[in-house]
Amino acid sequence: MDEDYNDWNNLKKSLSKGESNIFFHEREVWYCSIGKNIGYEEDGKNELFERPILIIKKFNNDIFLSIPLTSSSKDNIYYFKYELNNREYSGILSQIRLLDRKRLSRKIGMIKKSDFKNIINNIRNYMP
């Protein structure tokens, strides 16, 4: 377990020092190095500590608000289901976070406008 945190810390240092020429937009789904987190926070997987995320708000060319995605699904108000590339995902609304584009690795696709609108409405309804 400690080795995972050490590996994530080394990768995070490398990402922080690097430059990024990635351009991103709202509604896009990307693989993102979100890291090794604590407790019930959603972790990344593989050697890059990645997981899919949905970009919900672009603040500038460097930072954005995102929702981590999962292929597992729970039936509660903090999970929002939708389909992308013939695969079902759930957005974990309770784990919204601000991220830097240096964490983005590769684009998966873009969700439908109607699904995005529903997600934004759910955030407004369930977040204070």
Containing domain of residue 78, as a range? 2-126
Res 30: pLDDT: 94
**Residue 104: Cβ within 10 Å count:** 23
Taking the mean position of all CA atoms in its chain, how far away is CA 91? 9
Per-residue pLDDT of the chain (128 residues; tens, 9 = 90+): 567 777 776 777 777 787 888 999 999 999 998 877 766 667 677 777 789 999 999 999 999 999 998 887 777 778 888 888 888 888 888 889 999 999 999 999 999 999 899 888 888 887 66
Classified as helix, coil or strand, 99 is strand
Cα–Cα dist 53/31, whole Å: 6
pTM of the model: 0.86
pLDDT in tens, 72-108: 777 777 888 888 888 888 888 888 999 999 999 999 9
Cα 38 from chain centroid (whole Å): 16
Number of domains in the chain: 1
